[in-house]
Structure 1
Amino acid sequence: MNFQTKYITPDIKLSCYEDSLFKTEVVFEHHMLVWFISGETKIIQAGTSYLFGPGDIFLIPRNQLATVINYPKDGLPHKTVAMHLSVERLKELYGGLSLKPKGTPPQKICCFGHHPLLQSCMASLIPYFDMQDNFPENIASLKINEAISILRIIDPAIDDILSHFDDPGKIDLVDFMEKNFMFNMPLEKFAYLTGRSLSTFNRDFRKKFNALPRHWLTEKRLELAHYQITQYKKKPAEVYLETGFEDLSHFSFSFKKHFGYAPTNLSK
């Protein structure tokens, strides 16, 4: 993979790659603010998807499941500047403010379009990536705090997201898994996001679904893939990216084993 990452600090990075696509399924430990320079990204969450291109700025809140598919486009590499807004930094910032988060924040990506203040803030970082010496930590902190201040000015509701520091609480397991089964996450991550230990997750899952988690997840993903190919005429090479499979060959093998015929038969 032709991939390059430059860091100003561990919390500020410039990512660039030129391959045909890069797919990952993630749950970020910290909020991530992203500014697009070139290329295209499709982000899939439960019940919705987003498409981002050059100039777009968005915030992916922490502890949210997402499939991220990155592409080069128009002869240009996929290139972004990403800034991590760590829980530790936000706790320090919000500690001096008399704010109370309004319950659990919404499970969605925050989109800011091509906002000039945010663009100026993120673009000002570009020259620093070519510095040979270590970037001064105090300047990096100023840049991150500047971005947070701009976010709070242009979107007052962002406080409900950035000032929410609790770990996920115990939630309805059936509802969560029915909405998020397509994300290829370790069972430990599913357990954490539903507010359970792994042993409690496995026990509750078998009780609710009368099945082992891995078998149930594979079957649900295959059924979703079958539906997308037949109803939306999608190609197998497109479907596997969005239904939790590691690669096309693994998807095709699992599909044929489950249904008795290859996914290409449906496409034809």
Structure 2
Amino acid sequence: METIDIVQHNILLSYTSKQQFSQEQFWSEHTLSMLLSGEGRVYNNEETQRYTPGTIGLLKRNQLAKTVKIPSADGKPFKSVGIILDQETLRRYSAANGLAATSPYTGKTMLKLNQNHFISGFFDSLLPYFEQPGQLTKRLSELKTKEAIELLLSHDPGLKELLFDFSEPFKIDLETFMNSHFTYNVPIKQFAKLTGRSMSTFKRDFKKAFHQTPERWLKDRRLDKAHFLISELRQRPSEVYLQVGFENFSHFSASFKQRFGYNASTVGQ
């Protein structure tokens, strides 16, 4: 078994015995996770977080972030367990307990929590369900989500500002955002959401700013970035295609040749 990702309701178990870049780069919901073995790296445009066994991390919703899963040098696989803190449950919890954010959250979007035996124990309690997934009913997963929220607030009451901020992204400068985030492999609708626009407004504003469609511009920018990494930094094509936002190597190779007239493997020769 090389790689397996199990999703049971909103509980996640990830396992891989080989280094792997995550395909999921848009985090639509808050996610709490703990690394069990191996090493994890999560990075966005602001920072990189390194996770070692026992590290507990909280990723804020509505952000672009890339992850790398790395088995340990002694042969142990990458293994993590996580839980999605969905908006519906958070809204119900907020209303039932009279808790609300005082203003839109502007703090860090990737948080490492200090060693907390209660949260560690919470994740340990989830592991048996992956051996018998049928035992984890929807009702149980909802109770587990509420338990996670309770534990987070007990750990740091100030986390209510992040958890109960239900505001949506507001309209921001499109050109600056796209030039900073074009390497993230997410649908156009996610770029529209993150810049605070409807799809129609996003496409109209994009054409005004870049004089191209989003699809064409993204493809060209990613290929130009790949060409730079290969020609100037001497990285291999097989190393860069995921970095710049392509899903698979064959599509990248064909697109590269179509744009530049030669194969990526011949650059610098």
Report the TM-score when normalising by structure 1. Answer: 0.84
Task: Mark the runs of 5 or more structure 1 residues left unpaired by the alignment.
Answer: none
Task: Determine if the alignment matches structure 1 residue 148 to structure 2 residue 146.
Answer: no
2:185 equivalent to 1:207: no
Name the counterpart of 1:33. Answer: 32
Check whether the contact 1:41–1:69 (CA below 8 A) recurs between aligned residues: yes
The aligned counterpart of 1:80 is 80
Within 1, Cα distance between the matches of 2:59 and 2:239?
23
Kindly indicate whether the alpha-carbon contact (under 8 Å) linking 1:168 and 1:193 is maintained by their aligned counterparts in 2: yes
Q: Is the 8 A contact 2:21 2:66 kept in 1?
A: no
Instruction: Report the CA distance shift for 1:238/1:37 in structure 2 as closer, same or farther (over 3 A).
Output: same
Give the conservation status (yes or no) of the 8 Å contact 1:34–1:57.
yes
Q: Cα–Cα, structure 1 residues 201 and 83, in superposed 2: closer, same or farther, change >3 Å?
A: same
**1:177–1:245: structure 2 CA closer, same or farther, 3 Å change rule?**
same
> Counterparts of 1:97 and 1:170 in 2: how far apart (Å)?
29
Query: Which 5+ residue runs of structure 2 have no aligned equivalent?
Result: none
Q: Which residue of 2 aligns with 1:243?
A: 244
Q: Could you tell me which residue of structure 1 aligns to residue 93 of structure 2?
A: 93
The offset of 1:217, in angstroms, is 0.8
CA contact (8 A) 1:67 1:242 kept: no
One-letter code of the match for 2:126?
Answer: L
Aligned residue pairs total: 267
Structure 1 residue 231: deviation in Å? 5.0
Alignment of 1:26-65 (within 5 A): 26-65=25-64
Distance in structure 1 (CA, Å) of the matches to 2:129 and 2:83: 14
Deviation at 1:201, TM superposition (A): 1.2
Percent identity reads 35
Q: Which amino acid aligns with 1:252?
A: S
Root-mean-square deviation (Å): 2.8
Cα distance, 1:106–1:232 mapped onto 2, change above 3 Å: farther
AA matched with 2:57? F
Shift of 1:61: 1.5
Distance 1:199 1:180 in 2: 20
Distance 1:158-1:263 versus aligned 2 partners, 3 A rule: farther
SS of the residue 2:147 aligns to: helix
Moved more, 226-235 or 61-70: 226-235
Q: Which residue of 1 aligns with 2:227?
A: 226
Query: Does the C-alpha gap of structure 1 residues 56 and 257 become closer, same or farther in structure 2, counting only changes over 3 Å?
Result: same
Question: Residue type of the partner of 1:183?
Answer: Y
Corresponding residue of 2:130: 129
TM-score, normalised by the number of residues in structure 2: 0.84
1:143 counterpart letter in structure 2: K
Q: Deviations over 1:105-156 (max 9, x none)?
A: 3462112254433222212222333336533656544433332233223344
Q: Show the counterpart of 1:162.
A: 163
Secondary structure of 1:111's aligned partner: strand
CA distance in 2, matches of 1:107, 1:123: 27
Rounded to whole Å, the distance in 1 between the matches of 2:179 and 2:135 is 46
Q: Distance in 1 between matches of 2:43 and 2:155?
A: 25
Per the TM alignment, residue 182 of structure 1 is displaced from its structure 2 partner at its CA by 0.8
Cα shift at 1:2:
4.7
**Aligned partner of 1:17: which letter?**
T
